[in-house]
Structures are given as C-alpha cells and as structure tokens.
Structure 1
Amino acid sequence: MAAHIRALLLVCASLLINSVLGEAPYRFFVWDTTYGVINALGVSQQGILINGQFPGPTIECQTNDNLIINIRNSLPDPFLLPWDGLQQRKNSWQDGVSGTSCPIPPGQNFTYHMQAKDQIGSFFYFPSLAFHKAAGGFGAIRIHSRPLIPVPFPTPEDEYTVLIGDWYTAGHKALQDLLDSGKELPSPDGILINGKRNSNGADFTVEQGKTYRLRISNVGIQNTLNILIQGHNMTLVEVEGTHTVQNSYSSIDVHVGQSLSVLFTANQPARDYHIVVSTRFTNTTLHSTAVIRYAGSSGPTFEALPSGPDDVEFSLNQARSIRTNLTASGPRPNPQGSYHYGSINVTRTIRLANSMGLVGGKPRYAVNGVSFAEADTPLKLADYYNISGVFQLGGIPDAPPPAYNGAMEEVQSKTAAMDSDHRSFVEIVLENSEDGVQSWHLDGHSVFVVGMDVGTWSEQSRGSYNLVDAVSRCTVQVYPRGWTAVLIALDNVGTWNMRSEVWARRYLGQQFYLRVYTPTHSFRDELPIPDNVLLCGRAAATNSSRTHV
C-alpha cells in the first residue's frame, strides 16, 4: 500500500473517532495530480488533471464540515492548490499560496485539513504556482446549508456546476516563457464551459415547469465573461457565500475569479436552448455555448443566438444592483442583516492603485508602486520561526505614490507585506487608471462592496456608499478608469494573499500579503501550526521535527 494512502487511513481513523464524539462531519478526498492531454480547442496540449479529470472533481460539503484532502503530486513540478472563497477561518496555514505554504514536491503528497466554518456558497479551487492556472487543475466547491437553516428559495429540482473561462491553445509553460521574456500575453483563443468550447449534446437536461440552480464560476485567467440562457431569465440568489436580493437578469457578467448562483425555470416550449458565454470589454468577442435540453425536446430552437451587452454602464449598473438579502439566514441561525457594518467606525483607509512599470528593463505590474517579488521561504513560516530578511513588513504604502499617474514607470521590486491589527475595520479603495477591467481577491475574508464608479475617487465619494445592504464577497471588479470601495472586518488572524485575479498581472507582481496580527497567540484566534506542515527555504534550517522539503 502506498505510504500516502496508509498515512491518510491513520488520519481517517482518528478523525472518525472525533466525529463520533460530536464534531462536525468529516469528508475525505484522495486526489492524484498529473499531466495529461487536453484537447479543449481542437489542439492537443499538456494540461493538469486531477484523478484523470478535467475539470477536476467537485467538492460537495455542508456548513462546518471538516475537509480532509490528500493530494499526491505526480507532476514533475512543485504544486499548490488554494481554495478560492473557502475562507480558512483562523487557518492561513492551509491557504495554498506561496506566501503561506511550501509547495508539494514532485512525487510527494500533502494532506490539507480544512473546515467550511460558518460558510455556504459557490467557490472553486485552482493551482497557484508558476503559470499552472492556465493548464487546468481547477474544480468546483459547493458548500450547502445545514438542513435546519432556511434557504430563501424553494429547493431546486437539480443543481449544475458551470465553470467558464478563457483558454489558450499554447501550453502554460509557453505562456509563462512569454511573460518571463518581457512580452504580453496574446488574446485567448477560446472560451470553455466545463472544459469544452461548444457542445451539440445535452450538457444539462431539464423538465418543463421545474426550476434549476446553476453554480457559475469564472475560472479563467484574463477576461470578464457574460453568460445568458437563450429564451430564459435568470434569478440571482447567491454570490460567493452571500444570499442576494433576488433580481432577475437576462444576462449577467462574471468577472475573472468570481462565483455566483442563479435559478432559472424551464418555462419555454420543449426544445434545445443554448447557454451562451462571451467575452466582455474586448476588441474581438469570443463565444462558447452549451445546451439545455428539455425532456421530450423537439429539436433546437430556430432563434438566432443572442449576445450580451458590451458597455461599461450596463455592467456597472448591474453590479450596483447586486445586494445582500437581509431577510435571509446565513450559515448560522442569526440573520445576515444583524451585522450592521455601516455603523462601525473605520479605523484605517487604504488606497490601492494598480500600475505597470519596469524592473530590470522588463515589464512588471505593481500595487502602489511596489511589484511583489517571490521569496525563498513562505512569509507565514518566516514570521512563525522569526526568520529575518525574508519579507519587508510595511513595504506596501497605504496610498499610491504622489507622482502616480498609471503610466509606465520604474517600480520597486520587494517581497512586501502590509501589517494590520486583528479586529480592525478598514476601508480599501481600489483605483484603476487603465482601460481594462481589474479584478481583486483577498484570501481569508469577505468584503462589503459599498461603492463603485468610473472617474476618480475622493472623500466625497463616500456619500454614495451603500451602508445598508452591500453584497459581501471575496472577489471584486474595478471598471476602467474607475474605483471600487470595500469595507473589511479583519477578523481572521493570518497572512493572507491580496492579488489581481488577472493572472498575468498577479504572476508579474500585482499582489502582496496582508498580515492580520494579534500579539495574544491564542488558539481562539489562530489554529496551531499543523503537525504535517512542509518546511522549505530558510525554514528548513529550523530545529523543527516537521517535514523538510
């Protein structure tokens, strides 16, 4: 029996005992990560498979479930998986990014132990190292409400995962080489829906008169995507763990890295209808389709395929209409509306501006003039073991440089982290002086999206903030030449990645780590370092008995 299977069985035995004693249920997953052939756009290429699947297996769980995920890295490369939106309460040790975790070495395994603590919603996982995200390795995460917690809509007849994203025919290593050489990525070659470009088969089968849930995630690396269902409206019900006001939309924008859930009712004649996914805010529009087939279908509809709108004003107004459903329960019995975020005093304002500059003569992306440089040791481990010289705490200023104008400029390259106090309540303004849509994600937290607009943010912009029912989510967009303001309760101790979800920008430095710190070192605030933590870089030189790689 393989060593990693024996180790997992021992973990399972001990955890099952704890489950009998009254802990939340445990769910066990054994995954093998390999390279394999993907032929999504008619061109064979090397991609990342999990258990031989592309996309990878879906994680199905319930609020508070414990997740035990044993990953065998059968790639010739180091490997890491973050869990976008799975908030890792008090547990940034399991965050799966290079600033918090050592990579799983080739030929070895690692067991993640996480909990879907006080969470519901639709999320996804993906590989974070190198440029692996362009190679696949992604899959859906579904966190269901516990049976006794009311959900603000009738149980749908069925649920379907819809993973949408842009895709290249060039391999991920070729794309990485382009960026390393100082060149920009070309436009993507196509759009995938659940790993396929177009389908003439029945991707989703429905019965007339019944209602279905689509859990949609934009798992791509660059483009905002618009999704619609031919001849049907969609009702938005959930965004990254927040039940929303149930607005109806003929199409909806999903920015890169974002997830949401919609309901639709099969209320049309029994035919085949298309789901249409198309790029937004691009010079050339790419499309992909999937098929919704009614039981007893008489064949495809004769209507021309519709396309979504392509203007910023439409998308901006739609984004502003997405609000929290204050009458709905959250993952716990208390209603979400009991958290009156608008009446909490803001203790700090941080303005973050994206820019492009030069480091060593090559283009790099930056935040407030600082382009993140990867370290030889995870920042979290350096902090824990008091290893100096790994990163610069306070290396990211709270505002852009005075001379910042968004143009090409010389930027600083640092392994930078921003310090913050546990339980502080901060305002972050994301500013975009460029012509493309930006998308930002913060691990470990959800943020209240209180305002967004085109133009320049000023203190007077606070007068337009939604301080009552702003949606709470973990990934937010910033429109061209615009700004987005969020409020965040920094209630999750750890070292958390703040990053661009436009992956070329993140790879070339548009990211940093937010250190949410408390001097108390209590397990009530942060879980202890795992027994199976991997130690690498300068942390491998510690006297710890833990695994060194």
Structure 2
Amino acid sequence: MRSCSVDQLGSGEMAIALCIMIIFGGTLVVANDPYQYEDWTVSYIDASPLGVMQKVIAINDQFPGPQLETTTNYNLVIRVHNELDEPLLITWDGIQQRKNAWQDGVAGTNCPIQPGRSWTYNFKMKDQIGSYYYYPSLLFQKAAGGFGSIRVNPRRNIPCPFAPPAADFVVLIGDWYKTDHKTMRSVLDEGRLLGSPDGVLINGRGPLESSFTVEQGKTYRLRISNVGLTQTLNFRIQGHRLLLVETEGSYVAQTYYSTLDVHVGQSYSVLVTMDQSIPADFHIVASSRFTWPTLYGLAVLHYSTSHRGLVSRDLPPAPNDVQSSYEQARSIRMNLTAGAARPNPQGSYHYGQIKVNKTYVFANSALKVKGKQRFMVNGVSSLRPSTPLKLADYLKIDGVFHVGSIPDHPIDWATPSVASSVVAGDFRAFVEIVFQNPENALQSWHINGYAFFVVGMGPGRWSRESQRGYNLVDAVARTTTQVYGNAWTTVLVELDNPGLWNIRSQELQRQWLGQELYLRVVNPAGNDVKMQEEPPPHNLLLCGRALIHDAG
C-alpha cells in the first residue's frame, strides 16, 4: 500500500497533537477523529507583487497565507483574529461542509468577524481528499490577497493510484491588479467595470520571482489553484509534461498534457518528472486565455545540479483556440478504479443510473439597473442583505428573503430585478443543473456544499436533445466548472447535504454585482435524523435584524 503524499502527517499537525484525549467520568478516551488547531491573524502588510508597493492581506504575516494541511475526517478548529480595518469572513473553496453551512464563510450564511475581534471556525474534512484553497469572501478582499492552499491528505489505509512524489509544491496562480481593493469595489459600486488586470502572480510574486528547486530524475506533485479574479490561465512548464492525477478531490484517469487550462477557482494536481538530460533552469508559465492582451506569470524550475543562470527567453507556447480547451475539458475523466476518501473505488457510485428528479437552468446575463452595471441569473441580480439569509431562515425573520425569489429556468423579463436570490431544492433529490451562457465571455461557476459530476458541455443553447451526449459513466466530480462563451455546461448532483448553499460566479466582479444565488435544501423533520442539519454553533455571531430578534 502506498501513500499519495511525501509525508502523510504535516509538520504543523505533528506539533499540534493529532488526536485529543477527552476525560469522561475519570476515564481517558482517545477520540476516533483527531482534532487539529490553527491560530490565524489576518492583517495588512506592505508588499509589491508587481513592482508597486501595496497593502496586501496576509495571514500570520504571510502572503499568500499558510497552507492548510490536514487529513480526511480530521476536525479543524481555526481561530481567526481580524486585524483589518473592515469586517472579514473566510470561505473554504471546495470543502463540502457536511450538514454545516454555519461554517461556510460567505455573506449569505455568516455574520462577519468585526475589526479587532476573533471567531473560531469548527468543521470537519468529512470524506474528502485533494487540493483546494481558501480566501476572504467579503468586501472584494480577495483582490488584496488573504488566500492560501488547502491540502487534504488521505488516511493511511486508503491506497493511492500513484507512487509518492519526492516533494509536494503549492502553485497559486492568479491575475492581479495594482489598484487597492477598496478603490476597485468603489468603481464597481458606481456601475463601472474593472479593466484588464495588470499581471499574473505565481505564489504571490511577479515574473521570475518564484522558483522551485528539484532534483534530476525525481517526480514532484504540483497543486495548482487559480486564485485570481477574472482570467482563465494556461499553465505549462518548459520541456516537461504534466501528468494530471487529481482535481478538487477526485482522482482522475491519468493523462499527460503539455499545457493545462485552469479556470478561475479551479484546482488541479499534476505529477511532473524531472527528465531533462541536461540540468538547467526552465520556465514555469501561467498566461491568460481568451483575452487580449495576453498576461504572463513566470516562475523558474531549477534543477539542483545546474548553474543558476538566465532562463531561455523563448516561452513554451500556449494554445490559441477555444476548441482545444473544450477537448481538454472533455478528456478529464474519473479514475473508476481508485478510492479517494473511502476504500471503495470512486466509480462504485453509478450516478448515470439514477433518475433525475428536477432540472434547473441558470443563465447569466449582463444588464444595467438604474444606469449601473449589474450581472444576473435568470433575470435577477442578487442582493446581499445586512442579515445573512441562513440566519434569517433559522430565526424565522420575515422579509429578508423568500424561497423562489429567482426562477429555476430563464424567463422573459420586461425589466431586470434585484432580490436576495434563493431557489428551493428537495432533500435527496438527484438534480440536473444547466449553466447556460449566452454571453461571449467564458464563465466559471462554483457550488458550495457539494461536489458535482460534469456530464456535458457544448456550444449554443441547451435542450433536452443535449442529454443524449452526456457522459454517464466516468464524468469527473468537482466543485467548479467552466462554461464557454455562447455555450452550456451540465452537472448532476444529489442534494443530500441540508443547508443554504451558495451558487456563484467565481469571477469576483460578476459575483460582487449580483451573479450568485442560494440553494435551500431542507431535510424534513423526522426524515433520517442522522442527516438533519447541524444546530448553530455556540459562538454564533449575530448581526442585522438578528440583533433585534435576539434582544426581543
């Protein structure tokens, strides 16, 4: 049996105590699922990622923030101290909070951590492995940093579909603006759009400022996440092939790629063998796709036995067409023989044989409301109330939102509307969600609380006939998917996770201006008590109308 990781237990975990001892009636008991404790201080630091001094958001004085390394089924206790000058929430992109939307860290579910205050997240990595990332979800703060990698190792008794690598590298790529994030959100609030980003960062640094030292003949794992705001990035390494092995918690059929399109919010793991016969330095490139001008992020792959020198000026080329990106997306398939978080193979869940109970079609659009730019889903631009929707739902506060405020299919609107967008989902229904994109620009969509099967994508408008081309055997399961311009993408998902879950554009300005909604999934009382949603945490924060409700 082999492990996927260089070291199954991270150094931070070893220092923290991987299992806790609890005393019950004088008896010392070892908890089945270990607890892991983290203590994070979020603050501004001065940095110049693209040569201009800026205030960026750091965690424990690190930009990007520290890697959150943990293991399947561990209980995480993360105390967050907010030393910013504005409210803060952190969301865990791709981590499926089982029955626990209270820890989701988005505006619709949580009250923010006020400046100078602290709050503790407490959640479990339930049946998950893989590569993800976290970031601040409020007030456009992601544009200032505060993001970091999440690595969830499998348990020791779960075999891995590849040999352990020599080392495991974090590679955070993303577009970056030199403009202060507060100025950027003011521009958007005035109804104007942001222009092109100023560059692309790799691990928070500008061109050729990051390097990775490797040894000839060894194989390394790179966990690549696009933590940017708007741009799809093509990732490649000069003279080396990328063996794709995992995406957002799913082992995939191992395939070599010369380049890999990573859309906003997506995460991939690749294995790279250092097979060049002459030790040298090589370009690592992350360049923008489908936009002009092309932006480049550059880092250096340094063979340890080479004499450091200038990297060749010739960059490895990227594809310049949309069709190759389509073909690459369709080629990413589930590894049906490997187990991920559980001993059984991933392919043992035959999703293609389950009857679909309901179809949702969510179509994005860009329109103006009262002369200001907004983005819509099915004609509704989402509004964030001062009282989180989840809190209002639990406390039964009327007037904050109503289920069905957004239709589950596109309809003809005389005028676009603005509302707190919530759609209903039946508990344990198996549903089809179609993301329809009538715009030219590529879209990137994410669903909190769930992993979904990406079963189909194609040009034009989706119809029932489109279902005939679905992959109902080995579609990859993930949490973020792209929708190409004037095209559609379909995902299948079982709504077995009760809660109020965010469905959003991963492009920050589109989300900020309304391209998001919430899916409300409720387990009826008495229906499978084990699947009832978790009660609110003891440290639940109150805000908005919940303060008045609590006082009453």
TM-score, length-scaled by structure 2:
0.93
Instruction: Say which of 336, 340, 359 aligns to 1:349.
Output: 359
2:220 alignment counterpart: 212
2:5 alignment counterpart: none
C-alpha contact 2:282 2:312 (8 A) present in aligned 1: no
1:338 alignment counterpart: 348
C-alpha contact 1:233 1:248 (8 A) present in aligned 2: yes
1:406 alignment counterpart: none
Instruction: Say which of 231, 237, 254 aligns to 2:239.
Output: 231
TM-score, length-scaled by structure 1:
0.94
2:209 and 2:407 map into 1 onto residues whose CA distance is 52
For 1:83-130, what per-residue CA distance to the aligned partner results, in whole angstroms no more than 9, with x for missing partners?
A: 001111111000000100000011100000011100000000001111
Q: Is 1:184 the counterpart of 2:193 in the alignment?
A: yes
1:260 alignment counterpart: 268
C-alpha contact 2:133 2:148 (8 A) present in aligned 1: yes
Q: How does 1:69-88 map to 2 (within 5 A)?
A: 69-88=78-97
C-alpha contact 1:276 1:307 (8 A) present in aligned 2: no
Structure 1, unmatched stretches of 5+, are: 1-10, 404-408
1:484 alignment counterpart: 489
2:164 alignment counterpart: 155
2:6 alignment counterpart: none
Could you tell me how far 1:204 is from its partner in structure 2? Answer: 0.9
1:437 alignment counterpart: 442
Q: Is 1:89 the counterpart of 2:94 in the alignment?
A: no
Could you tell me how far 1:14 is from its partner in structure 2? Answer: 12
1:350 and 1:166 map into 2 onto residues whose CA distance is 31
Give the partner amino acid of 1:122: S
**Residue 511 of structure 2: SS of its match in structure 1?**
helix
Could you tell me how far 1:411 is from its partner in structure 2? Answer: 1.1
Could you tell me how far 1:442 is from its partner in structure 2? Answer: 0.4
2:542 and 2:19 map into 1 onto residues whose CA distance is 24
1:14 and 1:247 map into 2 onto residues whose CA distance is 37
**Residue 82 of structure 1: SS of its match in structure 2?**
strand
**Residue 462 of structure 1: SS of its match in structure 2?**
helix
Instruction: Say which of 534, 542, 546 aligns to 1:535.
Output: 542
Q: 1:107 to 1:16 in 2, by over 3 A?
A: farther
C-alpha contact 1:345 1:425 (8 A) present in aligned 2: yes
1:331 and 1:518 map into 2 onto residues whose CA distance is 25
Q: 1:120 to 1:517 in 2, by over 3 A?
A: same
Q: How does 1:42-441 map to 2 (within 5 A)?
A: 42-199=51-208, 203-268=211-276, 269-298=278-307, 299-300=309-310, 302=312, 304-402=314-412, 410-441=415-446
Could you tell me how far 1:417 is from its partner in structure 2? Answer: 0.6
Deviation beyond 3 Å, 4+ runs, structure 1: 11-16, 298-303, 521-524, 542-545
C-alpha contact 1:135 1:171 (8 A) present in aligned 2: yes
Q: Is 1:458 the counterpart of 2:466 in the alignment?
A: no
C-alpha contact 1:358 1:410 (8 A) present in aligned 2: no
2:11 alignment counterpart: none
For 1:520-539, what per-residue CA distance to the aligned partner results, in whole angstroms no more than 9, with x for missing partners?
A: 27453321210011011111
2:521 alignment counterpart: 516
2:313 and 2:297 map into 1 onto residues whose CA distance is 17
Give the partner amino acid of 1:536: C
Could you tell me how far 1:143 is from its partner in structure 2? Answer: 0.2
Could you tell me how far 1:488 is from its partner in structure 2? Answer: 0.8
Could you tell me how far 1:23 is from its partner in structure 2? Answer: 2.5
**Residue 147 of structure 1: SS of its match in structure 2?**
coil
Give the partner amino acid of 2:32: E
1:379 and 1:270 map into 2 onto residues whose CA distance is 56
Give the partner amino acid of 1:527: E
Identity %: 53
1:335 and 1:144 map into 2 onto residues whose CA distance is 17
Give the root-mean-square deviation of aligned CA atoms: 1.8
For this pair of structures, how many residues does the alignment match? 529
2:219 and 2:99 map into 1 onto residues whose CA distance is 37
Q: Is 1:471 the counterpart of 2:476 in the alignment?
A: yes
2:503 alignment counterpart: 498
